[in-house]
Copies of this chain bind each other. A is one copy, B any other.
Amino acid sequence: MRHRLKDVAERAGVSVKTVSNVVNGHVHVRPDTRARVEEAISELNYRPNLSARHLRKGRTGVIALAVPELDIPYFAELARYVVSAAAGHGWTVLIDQTGGRREQERVLASGITGHLIDGLIISPLGLTAADLAGLDGTPMVLLGERIADGPADRVVIDNVAAAREVTDHLIRLGRRRIAAVGAQRTDEGASARLRLAGYRDALRAAGLDDDQALVASAPAWHRADGAAAMRGLLTSGVRPDAVFCFNDTLALGVLRALHEAGLRVPEDVAVAGFDDIEDGRFAIPALSTVAPDKEQIARLAVQLLADRLTGNPTLPTRHLKAPYRLHLRESTRVSRRGSVEEAR
């Protein structure tokens, strides 16, 4: 005999709504109530049929989140927020790691998994506007500015303004030889291009030299790339007094390279990153960074997808902007919880 939600509720002596809350993993359930419901589920060998509601609508109740790399912590943290926002719609999120490969992204975008998933949230690295033209596959939301004029809903942050702001902060510290780490070829990274533009804006506005020797490129944005770029800057004789890194993992590699070179952060070289990943908050010194509102990015992306799935198919394409903040910590000395000296 196959038991139903109602049977579990009766056995546990709680409402059907409470059982549903437990099954759907809602947090606001008292621990003893949760334990009682779990015991009843176990005794009855009840299997929640989460997808029944979705299947009635010809849907699977599953959406995909496609990101280039999960071991870039920004994407892992974003994934957590997307899972959480999607749960509010009763969706399960499956995550696809594309490696930024255009082919893999094309496969997803052209709906090959259309029999598996209801919709796709994708942070593309290789995909082009041409790849998207005329697609009538899986409903899709783009994250980031890779495809500037694509025919799809999208959520972005203002990368140019954020990069300008963090570079401004380094200039206001009195730093004059500010390096940028993370430049890429134009066809590789939209974020790199926009963050470099913001960095240059700030230098120009302050009347500082836009010295090409201070710009270090990084084929990928991992710690090892940041460390290699910083070592390159140091051995080339360029001696920056500050570094703006285009993401936090690059910055963590830069911190390590500076440490190995015997340079102090922030006394000799101030360092700022981008993303506000947890690693940076616990780094020694703690990392100043641009913090995109990841929770808001996830919520907006899920909402755009929900509107696309439930609404009028001729809904116009929407581009939404999520906010960001500047978090100043020990690596640029201006910490809200005390200076570097106090922390030591």
Minimum distance in angstroms from A246 CB to a CB of chain B: 17
Q: Which of B113, B284, B286, B343 contacts A62 (CB 8 A)?
A: B113
Residue of B nearest to A24 (CB): B103
How many identical chains are in the complex?
2
A contact set with B: CB distance below 8 Å: 22-25, 38, 41-42, 47-51, 60, 62, 64, 69-71, 73, 76-77, 79-80, 83, 92-97, 99, 101-104, 106-107, 110, 112-113, 115-116, 128, 130-131, 222-223, 227, 252-253, 255-256, 259-260, 262, 278-279, 281-284, 286, 343-344
A97 proximity list for chain B (CB < 8 A): 79-80, 83, 93, 95
Q: Could you tell me the distance between the alpha carbons of A282 and B257 in the complex, rounded to whole angstroms?
A: 9
A79 proximity list for chain B (CB < 8 A): 70-71, 97
Residue of B nearest to A66 (CB): B94
Known contacts A42-B130, A252-B279; A96 and B103 CB within 8 A of each other: no
Q: Could you tell me the distance between the alpha carbons of A146 and B330 in the complex, rounded to whole angstroms?
A: 40
A71 proximity list for chain B (CB < 8 A): 73, 76-77, 79-80, 278
Minimum distance in angstroms from A303 CB to a CB of chain B: 20
A92 proximity list for chain B (CB < 8 A): 96, 113
A49 proximity list for chain B (CB < 8 A): 112
Residue of B nearest to A98 (CB): B25
A64 proximity list for chain B (CB < 8 A): 94
Known contacts A42-B130, A252-B279, A278-B71; A60 and B344 CB within 8 A of each other: no
Is the pair A282, B260 in contact by a Cβ cutoff of 8 Å?
A: no
Other than the known A42-B130, A92-B113, A223-B279, what 5 A-B pairs have Cβ atoms closer than 8 Å?
A: A42-B131, A69-B80, A83-B99, A93-B96, A284-B284
Residue of B nearest to A257 (CB): B282
Minimum distance in angstroms from A328 CB to a CB of chain B: 17
What are 21 A-B contacts with C-beta separation under 8 Å?
A41-B106, A47-B110, A51-B112, A62-B113, A64-B94, A69-B80, A70-B70, A71-B73, A71-B278, A73-B73, A79-B97, A83-B99, A93-B96, A94-B95, A95-B96, A95-B97, A223-B278, A252-B282, A256-B284, A260-B343, A279-B279
Is the pair B47, A112 in contact by a Cβ cutoff of 8 Å?
A: yes
Is the pair B284, A107 in contact by a Cβ cutoff of 8 Å?
A: no
A50 proximity list for chain B (CB < 8 A): 107, 112
Minimum distance in angstroms from A263 CB to a CB of chain B: 11
Is the pair A116, B60 in contact by a Cβ cutoff of 8 Å?
A: yes
Q: Could you tell me the distance between the alpha carbons of A282 and B41 in the complex, rounded to whole angstroms?
A: 45
A42 proximity list for chain B (CB < 8 A): 128, 130-131
The 5 closest A-B pairs by CB, nearest first: A94-B94, A95-B95, A70-B76, A71-B76, A223-B282
Most chain-B CB neighbours within 10 Å: which of A50, A95, A96?
A95
Q: Could you tell me the distance between the alpha carbons of A319 and B93 in the complex, rounded to whole angstroms?
A: 30
Q: Could you tell me the distance between the alpha carbons of A236 and B94 in the complex, rounded to whole angstroms?
A: 44
